[in-house]
Chain A
């Protein structure tokens, strides 16, 4: 059954079928074409000139914005990575620096210890020297004291042995001196013999 026959079936069923024929459904009237063209033209102009370009622009802008946002995020990520690297480099540098300073400090410390040690040993040497000198001085003083004491002791002893013979001041002194010289000579030989040993 053709398409034209379809409306024809209704035509017979219809009550007022005066001049309307089934074929009229697919044969457009001139005014029908005219007004259809007019309304379509209005719609097409509104769509082509305004609505569609606007929406295209909005969509493109949105796409650009999203892409921009993604780019920005990537950039931020790269920046963060760079900052992290820099931070790590700085940290590494700081660690090296710290190690270097520690090393230096250790070196300085040991130098200070060495210096202190040298100074201490010098001081010790000096103290020893002083002590030696003092001992020498005391020994000499003791020797002088001993000489006097021995002299007195010997004179007393001799006077007791010799009696008054030595009462005379001059003689006494002479005898004592001679005795001491002999003693000194004896001591010197003994000391030389000791040193020679």
Chain B
């Protein structure tokens, strides 16, 4: 085994630990032992194109996953709505539970009952869409979240961006909104030299950027962890020396735990996204910050 590879792996090890993906570290050190281990990489998120290569309409595996999710989500919701009755059945109850969750626990809690009504459709659509796109990360055979490629999170964040800026402008007018956002009241005048650029960055750049990147990074990290766990399991059980096979059980258990954790993260990220959306809208339309 060449020492250079080992050094490179060690370097990676430190990088990974710093990236707070410490879980990967113990398994990553085994990587150099054999060429049979397939480490996860970001090339997973750029699969080869299937159709229209090099054009605006290029379609790869992730786009296909998104189409599938969109169709499934639309079909489920349309069927649920078509079958919806005054006395709900089991299926309708589950859908209504989620709808109520967004309406009551997110919209009404953050925006207040009156203002919430206007934004419930936005928040509900966002929550359902993000949840559906996230959950594909742990569905066998798909194994990648629709939101793991930055395009979708960016479009979602842009939508929210337009909505909260629009809400602010509608509530205060362009001047009023800029004044309320960039010159928070109750601060000594000279502080605006510091505050205004910060507020500007926050409102116009950081909020949408963090929305998109948080969602994407969580899904990317989740995917990498799952791939790592399961490819390590594969490697340990079928290719590694007999003495190493026991590690396979360990990595498989870790993979199982990660799958459950990813299910939780998928829901959590959808929730965080809509909560932040509601908070941003609330900050825009509020009279005083």
Task: Report which A residues bind B (CB closer than 8 A).
Answer: 1, 3, 5-17, 20, 22, 24-37, 39-40, 42-44, 46-48, 50-52, 54-55, 58-59, 61-62, 65
Apart from A1-B18, A50-B78, A58-B84: 16 A-B pairs, beta carbons within 8 A: A6-B19, A6-B21, A14-B40, A14-B41, A16-B41, A17-B41, A31-B52, A31-B55, A39-B67, A40-B152, A40-B159, A43-B129, A44-B129, A46-B78, A52-B99, A55-B80
Would you call A12 and B74 a contact (CB within 8 A)? no
Contacts A28-B151, A32-B150 given; indicate if A51 touches B78 (C-beta within 8 A). yes
Q: Are A62 and B152 in contact, CB atoms less than 8 angstroms apart?
A: no
Cα A87 to Cα B224 with chains together (Å): 80
> Among B18, B31, B42, which residue has its beta carbon within 8 angstroms of that of A20?
B42
A54 touches B81 (CB 8 A): yes
Say whether A43 contacts B150, CB under 8 Å.
Answer: no
Residues of A within 8 A of B56 (CB): 30-31, 34
The 8 Å CB contact of B42, one of A24, A36, A61, is A24
Interface of B toward A, CB cutoff 8 Å: 8-9, 11-12, 15-16, 18-19, 21, 28, 31, 38-43, 45-46, 52, 55-59, 63, 66-67, 69-70, 73-74, 77-78, 80-82, 84-86, 95-96, 99, 120-121, 124-125, 128-129, 146, 149-152, 154-156, 159, 213, 216-217, 220-221, 224
- Are B8 and A12 interface neighbours, CB within 8 A? yes
Per the bound structure, the CA–CA distance linking A3 and B212 in Å amounts to 12
A25-B130 Cα distance, complex, nearest whole Å: 18
State in angstroms the CA–CA spacing of A46 and B69 once bound together.
13
Complex contacts, A58 vs chain B, CB 8 Å: 84-86
Q: Which of A25, A52, A54 contacts B45 (CB 8 A)?
A: A25
Interface of A is mostly: helix
Which of chain A's residues have a CB closer than 8 A to the CB of B52?
31
Bound Cα distance A15, B231 (Å): 14
Task: Find B125's partner among A3, A12, A30, A52 (CB 8 Å cutoff).
Answer: A52
**Residue pair B43, A17 in contact (C-beta under 8 Å):** yes
B81 & A55 in contact (Cβ 8 Å cutoff): yes
Task: Looking at the assembled complex, report how far the CB atom of A5 sits from the nearest CB atom of chain B, in whole angstroms.
Answer: 8
Chain A residues lying within 8 Å of B15, measured Cβ to Cβ, are: 1, 5, 8-9, 12
CB contact between A10 and one of B78, B82, B146, B224 (< 8 Å): that residue: B224
A62–B154 contact, CB under 8 A?
Answer: no
Is A3's CB under 8 angstroms from B154's CB? no
